[in-house]
Amino acid sequence: MRLKIITSNPGKVIEYREALSLFSIDTEHVRIPYDEIQTSELRDVVKYGMTSLKEQGVKDFIIDDSGLFVDALNGFPGVYSSYVQKTLGNAGILKLMENVSERGANFQCCIGCNINGDDIIVTGRCDGVILKEEKGTEGFGYDPIFSNDGDISLAEMPISEKNGISHRGNAVRLLIDKIKDII
């Protein structure tokens, strides 16, 4: 089985390849532009993107929309995480969290997969906290400021360990369960 990973984020490609290879699923990184909508729900963004890709004749693919949801910031940046990462970065989130004692947050990853003509949508989650400073050099995006255990950031973990607990890793495992049901 071979799936196209459609993203412009090379970090996601690495994580998907690592996770899916454990289930003997080959991947191909493809950059295909598709329509995205601005909405408050990851699932709506993914559904719209899948429709756009299928209208272009694309089959057997994975897309996702992911976000960091910070409790003290009422879920911000959420679906706007990519834009906020590009504009404010980790330093901007840490600045917003200065003097905030409640540091709870979660990462969510909504995966849309088209396989053999069937559509699957799953959402994985990883609960944790926003650290007080950046730690680690692995991963990408908000990984240096997010920890699932309050100590080690996702950027301090090898990818195999990160995939074992991360929002994307959890979503991939849900996806694999669904794929097993249809093949």
Q: Is the dihedral of CA 59, 26, 30, 36 positive or negative?
A: positive
Q: Which of 17, 6, 80, 2 is nearest to 49 (CA)?
A: 6
65 is catalytic: yes
List the helix and strand counts (H, then E) for the chain: 6, 7
Q: Given 65, 118, 119, 177, which residue is catalytic?
A: 65
The C-alpha atoms of residue 116 and residue 2 are separated, in whole angstroms, by: 11
23 near 1, Cβ under 8 Å?
no
156 near 131, Cβ under 8 Å?
no
The C-alpha atoms of residue 82 and residue 85 are separated, in whole angstroms, by: 5
CA distances to 59, 78, 92 from 84, rounded to whole Å, are 31, 9, 8
CA angle 35, 123, 20 (to 5 degrees): 90
Active site residues: 65
